[in-house]
Structure 1
Amino acid sequence: MTRAPLPMPPIDDQTDATRRFSDVLESLGEGADPKLTLQELVAAFGERGFGAIILVLSLLALLPWPPGGKAVFALPIILMSLELAFQRDTVWLPRWALRASVSRAAYRSGVSRIMKLIRRVEALTRPRLHYLTGEVADIVTGLVCVVLALIMALPIPFGDALPGIALVLFAMGMMQRDGAAIILGVIATAACGLYLFLIWATVVEVAHHVAGWFAHLAG
């Protein structure tokens, strides 16, 4: 027996097609419920789908959270990135993921800090370099976003900022069909890879010195 889908909250008819992304983002902080659920986000952005939801979750993940908080956002980003890579037409998330929520007050506070930046970026983006936002490109972008979300969830010092920024750029590129944003996402991803390499090299070097110190004591 299949379970009935969770009912979606009512949304404005203009939400998906005619309202700017920033306006929808801002209006999500005005609900009566003290908790903002992922289900409400999915309903609010509708056909804008993957890019819009990944963008919102990535922006939220860039805010300061307690240890392990990033994983709450990383998991749905991974699921949606895989759906994008496998060319699904609409966003699907399991019922338990749709129930995930954040405090609406914290959401309002975080969004208010970055709203000016969002509006500026929104004004700069436009459809261009279409070959970077086609179906084949979406497959590659989706898979890269999976890797970035995994890295974002790792307990690496300052290691969540770069993958979070890269995810924001990729999501904006997908949503606005802007190949220039995709290119910036690739650059941010390369910077993230370089940072991880430097962290790994540092850890190996420290481990080598510690091992040498213990060997010296034992000798």
Structure 2
Amino acid sequence: MSDRNDGSTLMDLIALMERMEQDAQRVSVNNVVHAIGRRSFGPLLLVAGLITLAPIIGDIPGMPTLMATLVLLVSVQLLAGRETFWLPQWLLKRSISQPKFDKGLRLMKKPARWIDGLLRVRLPWLTGYIGIRVTAVVCLLIALAMPPMEFVPFSANGAGLALSLLGLGLVARDGLMLLLGFVLFGATCTLILVGLL
């Protein structure tokens, strides 16, 4: 589901975000969505996961909840059969400073190259029509779980990593990455529940 050449690697996605148009000295959600496309479910998930994980960016209070809102809206619309995702203006206008965004991208480059070397087409049936819908349901559950996770140390990082794996799986058509994302989210929720009991 893509309306532009998104590329099939994490480095391609980072390059898209580096080249995107920005408003003055701020980078908005709208800038990112415009750069990767409004039909790009996999890249949107991946970006939301990476932003949640990224040092400096993901540590901003409320950022995991903002990314959860993005994932929730996109997942519900995908399940409803929409091909172009609608996002409210208040979400699209949210922004961070250009220097923070650029620093976060720079820190992601080294691990991105290593991760790209691991990706390949595997278990492609998991990235087909039904697999994408199952992934959307899991993403919806992750999005609902993320706001409370902000109060449990490091749990939002688990959710961000799960979203990143799911996004990578869809972008690279790597079903193994999807399975790892499902398992990681399940493990994160289990650890949180055990910790609360």
> Could you state the TM-score of these two structures normalised by the residue count of structure 1?
0.76
Relative to structure 1, the CA distance from residue 34 to residue 28 in structure 2 (aligned partners, 3 Å threshold; closer, same or farther) is: farther
- 1:21 is displaced (CA, Å) by 4.5
Q: Which runs of 4+ in 1 moved over 6 A?
A: none
**SS in structure 1 opposite 2:43?**
helix
Unaligned stretches of 5+ residues in structure 1: 1-14, 202-219
Structure possessing the higher radius of gyration over alpha carbons: 1
**Alignment match, 1:61:** 52
AA paired with 2:188?
Answer: C
Aligned with residue 176 of structure 1, among 172, 176, 179: 172
Gaps of 5+ in 2: none
Secondary structure at 1:44's aligned position in 2? helix
| Aligned match for 2:76, one of 82, 85, 94 | 82
Contact residue 39 and residue 83 of structure 2 kept, 8 A: no
Query: How far does residue 18 in structure 1 lie from its aligned partner after superposition?
Result: 5.7
Deviation sequence 1:54-107 (CA, Å, 0-9, x none) = 211211112342433321221111111222223322232122222222222111
Query: Aligned pair count?
Result: 187
**CA offset digits 1:125-168 (Å, max 9, x no partner):** 22221211111121111111111122222122221111111111
Q: Secondary structure at the match of 1:102?
A: strand
RMSD in angstroms over aligned alpha carbons? 2.2
- Identity of matched residues, %: 30
Shift of the alpha carbon at 1:192? 1.0
**Counterpart position of 1:22:** 11
Residues 68 and 20 from structure 1, CA distance in 2 versus in 1: closer, same or farther, beyond 3 angstroms? closer
Matched with 2:40 is: 49
Alpha-carbon separation, structure 2, partners of 1:53 and 1:148: 14
Output the TM-score relative to the length of structure 2. 0.83
Query: What is aligned with 2:158?
Result: 162
Aligned partners of 1:151 and 1:159 also within 8 Å: no
